[in-house]
Chains A and B, each alone.
Chain A
Amino acid sequence: MSNVSLYSVAYTLSSVLLGALAHLFPAPIHGWLISGTVVTALAAVIFAAILLLASMLNTILLIWYERKLLGRFMDRRGAMHVGYAGLLQNFADGLKLFRKDTVRPGQADPLGFWLSPTAYMVTSLVIFGLLPISTGWNGGSLPLTLLLALVIFSFAPLFIFLGAWASNNKYSLIGGMRSAAQMIAYEVPILLAVVAVVVLAGTFDLNTIVLEQRNYWFWAPLFLALIVFLTGMLAEMERIPFDLPEAEAELVEGWNTEYGGMLFAFFMLADYLRALVGSILVVLLFLGGWTLPSYVPAALTSFPLAGIVWFMVKTYLVFGLFVWVRASLPRIRTDQLLRLGWMRMVPLALLSVLLAALVVLSHCLPLIGCVPSMGG
């Protein structure tokens, strides 16, 4: 089963669909329908649809997972009533939000107000096309996938600030400015932490990065970088303790104060999409992606789609860590956040780059020992 890839599934579906469809039409159209170009084009569409569906379903499941986990942390049970153990609660919430009237404040700028949630959502979704989740199960496999993903990931402050400014609301504006400052400040340590990974792996291609971790996962030599990356991702996702752009105690709802109904649902979904992307990136860069250590019994890794299963397990565990942090830490202040970012995270990230370089040069790992073949 290991040679099954997402694209092959899409291609098979496409050719089966078109083959069935072609029987309804006379020869010229029949021939054109089963031609390689059309099948490939439809395969691409199906491919995108599967990706969209999977990412959205995962996001909604992620929200459910967070609610249940938070509930347990707080000595309660979370959503219970819609569906089994509240599994359908988020669909109900989503439906409610989509049915709501969308209100634009009279003084708000229409273009920015409408564009911002859409663009925020779209840029968050596009990243999923770049992330591999198992051997062959990815969209584009470019040499610079990681860089591209991070670039798209960092579009967000632009759109948040756009929406905040267009809302023409003081809380939104302050929240938008905080958000922009925070995201830009934490881009730097995140990228530096990624540089450490790249130095060790010798490539920007996520598939290769995962394969490079076959001997040891990168969190062991790059523990500092992992901490920096997790902290930075928390800030990028705007989750507690770094959720001050939408600090509800002082700024009502921060930059999305004026958004309601469907637009708010967009922001909400995109937030969780980004949280999912963040967790996936942690798994890919530091936790060995879909691979398991070699001492794990083969029975655990040889069943169909084992890679995807383990990948999702790891992703949800990482997200569980974020939820745990959310349940136990208070929110910090803007100036403290920026101080933490520039004065603690950046030096730590630089140090981890240095460590990565040392590992590559010396072929030695702390706590593990020296192996001649080690390092990129």
Chain B
Amino acid sequence: MTEMWVNMGPQHPMTHGLWNLRVRIEGEIIKDVEPEMGYLHRGIEKISEDRHYNEIITLMDRTCYVAGLSWEHLFIVAAEQALHVTPPERAEYIRVMSAELQRIASHLMWYSAFVQDLGLMTPFLYGMRDRDLILDLFQSYTGGRLTYEYMRVGGVRSDLPLGFTQRCRQVVDWLMDRFVEYDQLCLSSTIFHERCDGLGVLLEPEAVAYGVTGPMLRSAGSRRDLRKDRPYSVYDQVQFDVATATTADVTGRYLVRMEEMRQSVRIVRQCLDWLDDHPGPVMADHLPRWLGAPYAPMGNESYLLKRNYPTGVGLSMIEEPHGEAGAYVVNDGGEHPYRVKFRSPVLINIWAAKRYLPGYRVADIPPIMGSVDVCVGECDR
């Protein structure tokens, strides 16, 4: 049979966003792939050069629209490093709790999309239903369900509302029960294993060489998790295990993400316990006025400082739900960053498709690419 190129995207049910996977197939066998990105490029790095630091947070929510708080966290860590600001500890705990709730929400979104690619419709709706509970929590303390604009350089915008910790505990308890149900729906099905076992194998040395990070790397047996290896915020204060698998295939990635959600619940519970016991400020003092500290005490003369902030470079790498995200912020002493560079884990994970897709069948593309957890917003920025 002759070979032909098939465009899977940019408008195709497999892609979950605007990108194009050009596939060269011979019969049903994939010979080569060529990912094409850029359909959703909004120039976030360029726009950031013209914005105040706190205005960039708005862009971060839009960078990855399923993990907005994680990306806010990423930028905030880099910006605080570049501007030499230290947030209060309570703000750090709220950030970690938000990031972990966001990780669960993002993984639930992945779960829904992934099982939908496999043709499973019921778990899709279960996943979306349970993700909504987390969005309700977000709404109660950030006001937003998708774009939160919650974190600030120097802290977070506002403290948690009354009774939040109780509600949050109820939600994570409910989720822990649902995770069992998810596993029953997928792992107990022979067809699920037939569709997922041994597909899209990317062993650890190759994964490292191709720059793949996150659950994809950990499914190959690597224990690399920046929350453990290079703790940022207060990740060194909480206990959790790194989820790994050894099969390096689609099932392995599924198992890693499911276990990560359970570990995230564990972290959230610890954060809630800490937050119950330690009331306090959520915004740093002594911030310059242009950093927009709404709760900075008046009469503090440092808010009069308009410029002459110390120059610096901030590098933050965090374990985002999709993998390792990075922000490199160059501050030349002005109100705007001079240069912002983001590392998108999804861009690299998609690009490595050249390595892990050929040899499988066309029908395997949805499960394999589904297991990558594609978010085109952060890929194209």
A interface list, Cβ under 8 A from B:
70, 73-76, 170-171, 174, 240-241, 243-244, 247-252, 326-336
Contact = CB atoms under 8 A, between A and B. Distances in A.
B85 interface: no
A357 to B, nearest CB: 31
Nearest to A174: B362
A249 B366 contact: yes
Interface of B: 4, 6, 8, 12-14, 28, 115-122, 124-126, 129, 185, 189, 191-192, 194-195, 361-366, 370
B345 to A, nearest CB: 23
A63 B326 CA distance: 49
A330 B126 contact: no
Contacts of B4: 170
Nearest to A339: B194
B364 A330 contact: no
B119 A241 contact: yes
Given A74-B125, A333-B361, A240 B119 contact: yes
Given A75-B126, A244-B363, A248-B13, A332 B191 contact: yes
Nearest to B366: A249
Given A240-B119, A250-B366, 19 more contacts: A74-B122, A75-B125, A75-B129, A170-B6, A171-B6, A247-B119, A249-B13, A249-B117, A249-B119, A250-B8, A250-B362, A250-B363, A329-B119, A329-B189, A330-B192, A331-B119, A333-B195, A333-B364, A334-B28
Contact of B120 (A170, A244, A329, A333): A329
Contacts of A76: 125
A336 B361 CA distance: 12
9 contacts: A75-B126, A171-B6, A243-B119, A248-B13, A250-B366, A329-B120, A331-B195, A334-B361, A336-B194
A333 B366 contact: no
B14 to A, nearest CB: 5
A131 B6 CA distance: 43
Contacts of B8: 250
Contacts of A247: 119, 363, 366
A297 to B, nearest CB: 38
Given A330-B115, A330-B192, A335 B121 contact: no
A322 B14 CA distance: 25
Contacts of A250: 8, 14, 362-363, 365-366
Residue of A76, A170, A243 most packed against chain B (CB within 10 A): A170
Contact of A334 (B194, B363, B366): B363
Contacts of B189: 328-330
B274 to A, nearest CB: 34
A329 B191 contact: yes
Nearest to A173: B4
Contact of B118 (A70, A170, A330): A330
Contacts of B363: 244, 247, 250, 333-334
B115 A252 contact: no
Contacts of B121: 70, 74, 240, 326-327
With a 10 A CB-CB cut-off, give which of B12, B119, B120, B189 has the most chain A CB atoms: B119
Given A330-B195, A333-B195, A335-B361, A252 B122 contact: no
A241 B120 CA distance: 9
Nearest to B28: A334
A77 to B, nearest CB: 12
A73 B12 contact: no
B125 A328 contact: no
A172 to B, nearest CB: 12
A51 to B, nearest CB: 33
A326 B191 CA distance: 13
Contacts of A249: 13-14, 116-119, 366, 370
Nearest to A248: B13
Contacts of A334: 28, 361, 363
| Residue of A73, A75, A243, A332 contacting most chain B CB atoms (<10 Å) | A332
Contacts of A241: 119, 191
B349 to A, nearest CB: 19
Contacts of B185: 328
A247 B119 CA distance: 8
- In the A-B complex, the 7 residue pairs with the closest CB atoms: A331-B119, A249-B366, A330-B118, A74-B125, A249-B117, A330-B120, A333-B363
Given A250-B8, A336-B194, A330 B119 contact: yes
Nearest to B126: A75
A76 B122 CA distance: 10
Given A74-B121, A243-B119, A252 B12 contact: yes
Contacts of A73: 122
A331 B13 contact: no
